[in-house]
């Protein structure tokens, strides 16, 4: 059998009536015997272990699950093993009961091709009731508007208050979490209170400043008419109120960059008519000329 170059090439068929040499033999995967092309199937060589290739599955009437029977094991043993270990009667309704559209009065059975999941309520409906108005959609679930950490802190405090009468059994980790949460909440509340006080103080200062400026302007106008009281320290221009003077300085001097050094001017007031003079000599000449040379009131 074979050739000088390949002495092991080819094998004889195992069938007694055949014994044909085949250079490409077939090995049965059940009985592990060698056969030729004609006798390679189970039926042709009458394989004694061909039944092991068959797959037998029994549907359990309790859980509707398939139980495979092993040819090498007694079927009763396989069944008892399934009932004691794998059998779950609650699975029977899930397997056998067909899903239907949840809309009242609709008997449409939901299958793979006619099932639509609503994006808002996340319920499965048939094609006929796939839109929200058709199945009275309740809409998406409302999200929590409060800070979740505060809810967790409140819930933890309630649990601690309930268990305060019993012996303490909480772990150190839980206690540290509660302490940290309390510290964060206290610091947040203190910061918010401080910020509120600062805002109220700033508003009060602004109101007081506006009132004072208004009263000064109204008082000056009633006492001196259209008399110009404020003078620019840089260019000497005169204004009737402080607001006009500030606007003049911001527009003319600060915006143009021509800020000159502030000049300190001393003004002497006449004791008789309250007229101001920068030069003391001019004040003396004015008293002598207009008031008869006397400076007393």
Structural tokens at position 257: 């960059």
Residue range 31-61, pLDDT digits in tens: 889 999 999 888 888 888 776 666 788 888 8
Q: What is the pLDDT of residue 139?
A: 79
pLDDT above 60 (res 76):
yes
| Token digits of residue 69 | 């029977």
pLDDT tens digits for 249-292?
777 776 555 555 545 556 777 777 777 777 778 878 888 888 77
The owner of tokens 């009737």 is 240
Token pair 């390949």 in the structure block, residue: 6
Q: Is 60 left (phi over 0), alpha (psi -120 to 50) or beta?
A: beta
Which pLDDT score, from 0 to 100, does residue 160 have?
57
Confidence at residue 202, expressed as pLDDT on a 0 to 100 scale: 74
Q: Which two tokens stand for residue 48?
A: 């004694």
Other beta carbons less than 10 A from residue 35's beta carbon: 24
Q: 85 is written with which tokens?
A: 């270990």
88-146: per-residue pLDDT in tens? 888 887 777 788 899 999 989 888 889 999 988 888 999 999 998 889 888 776 655 55
- Digit-coded pLDDT (tens) for 198-233: 777 777 776 666 555 555 444 444 444 444 467 777
293: left (phi over 0), alpha (psi -120 to 50) or beta: left
The pLDDT, as a whole number, for residue 154 is 65
């Amino acid at each position: 059998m074979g050739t000088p170059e390949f002495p092991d090439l080819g094998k004889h068929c195992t069938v007694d009536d055949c014994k044909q040499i085949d250079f490409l033999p077939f090995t049965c995967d059940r009985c592990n015997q060698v056969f030729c092309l004609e006798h390679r199937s189970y039926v042709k060589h009458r394989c004694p272990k061909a039944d092991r290739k068959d797959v037998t599955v029994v549907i359990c009437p309790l859980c509707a699950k398939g139980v495979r029977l092993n040819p090498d094991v007694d079927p009763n043993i396989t069944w008892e093993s399934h009932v004691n270990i794998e059998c779950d009667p609650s699975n029977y309704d899930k397997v056998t009961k067909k899903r239907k559209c949840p809309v009242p009065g609709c008997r449409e059975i939901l299958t793979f091709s006619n099932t639509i999941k609503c994006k808002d309520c996340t319920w499965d409906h048939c094609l006929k009731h796939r839109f929200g108005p058709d199945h009275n959609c309740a809409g998406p679930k409302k999200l929590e508007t409060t800070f979740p950490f505060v809810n967790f802190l409140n819930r933890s405090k309630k649990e601690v208050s309930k268990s305060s009468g019993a012996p303490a059994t909480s772990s150190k980790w839980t206690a540290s979490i509660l302490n940290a949460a309390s510290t964060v909440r206290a610091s947040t509340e203190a910061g918010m209170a401080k910020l509120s006080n600062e805002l109220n103080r700033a508003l009060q200062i602004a109101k007081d400043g506006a009132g004072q400026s208004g009263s000064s302007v109204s008082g000056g106008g009633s006492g001196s008419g259209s008399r110009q009281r404020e003078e620019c320290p840089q260019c000497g221009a005169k204004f009737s109120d402080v607001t006009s003077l500030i606007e003049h300085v911001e527009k003319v001097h600060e915006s143009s960059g021509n800020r000159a050094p502030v000049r300190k001017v001393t003004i002497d007031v006449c004791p008789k008519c309250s007229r101001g003079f920068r030069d003391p000599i001019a004040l003396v000449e004015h008293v002598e000329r207009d008031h008869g040379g006397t400076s007393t009131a």
